[in-house]
Amino acid sequence: MAFPSRLLNDNETVSVDLHPHWWFLAAPAIAIVAAIVAGVVTLVATEVDSTWRSVAGWATIVAIVASACWLLSRYGRWLTTHFVITNRRVIFRTGLLTKRGIEIPIDRVNTVYFHQSIWERVLGVGDLLIESGGETGQQRFTDIRQPDRVQRVLHAEMEARELRGRGPEGVVDVAGQLEKLGVEPVEVTLNRGELKGGCPHTHLQRDGEFRPRRRPRE
């Protein structure tokens, strides 16, 4: 199940859309396999129509049903959990009946860490820690598939976002920066008289730049 496109903004593209690693389902799967093995052992080790077989049999059935419910619940969480990186933000959403989520703008991300133990490196799973300039500060995301690759993708989006804030040849887009800060640019209009007479404190050079007017020596 892909991340719903209706939750994306205009001109927003998805670079990464991940469900948790399959290791997220390992615990309930192991539990249901263990319950089935216990049931087989009970049938082999106990006598027919004995009290122990009856008690152990019912206990095994309860364990299998509980493990299956746990597995289905965990699968539902796996299916509805998304870790998404777009060209504008990092999105995490999870929840089957009740939902929760967090969004981090790309331009607020400061540092990205990942952690993998030896066993996690073998499985290709790990944790991702994102430090941002928002109120949350740090966010840890667990059961991320190939966190080192995800880190590289996020760094690439950060660099691309920074370059989009610059004009040609690396010139800073001032209007774009002012828009981010919520400041409206001010348009200044000079009439002919002001251009002819000049500003009392500055004058326009041939290169198009205003420089302070030098006061004449007394």
8 Å CB contact between 117 and 189: no
pTM: 0.68
CA R_g for the chain? 31
Domain stop point among 80, 108, 124 = 80
Instruction: Find the range with the poorest average confidence among 13-22, 44-53, 79-88, 122-131.
Output: 44-53
pLDDT, the chain, mean = 79
8 Å CB contact between 91 and 70: no
Report how far residue 187's alpha carbon sits from residue 198's, in angstroms, rounded to the nearest whole number. Answer: 18
Q: What is the mean pLDDT of residues 34-44?
A: 87
Dump pLDDT digits (tens) for 108-160.
999 999 999 999 999 999 999 999 876 667 889 999 999 999 999 999 999 98
pLDDT of 67 higher than 60: yes
**Does residue 130 lie in a domain region?**
yes
122 and 144 fall within a common domain? yes
59 and 94 fall within a common domain? no
Domain that holds residue 62: 22-80
Give SS3 for 202.
strand
* Burial class of residue 187 (count of CB atoms within 10 Å of its CB; 0-12, 13-18, 19+): exposed
- Residue-by-residue DSSP string for 83-115: EEEESSEEEEEE-SSS-EEEEEEGGGEEEEEEE
8 Å CB contact between 104 and 62: no
**Does residue 154 lie in a domain region?**
yes
- CA separation (Å) from 122 to 78, 141, 146, 204? 21, 19, 10, 66
Dump pLDDT digits (tens) for 165-180.
665 544 545 555 546 5
Q: Which residue has the higher pLDDT, 109 or 199?
A: 109
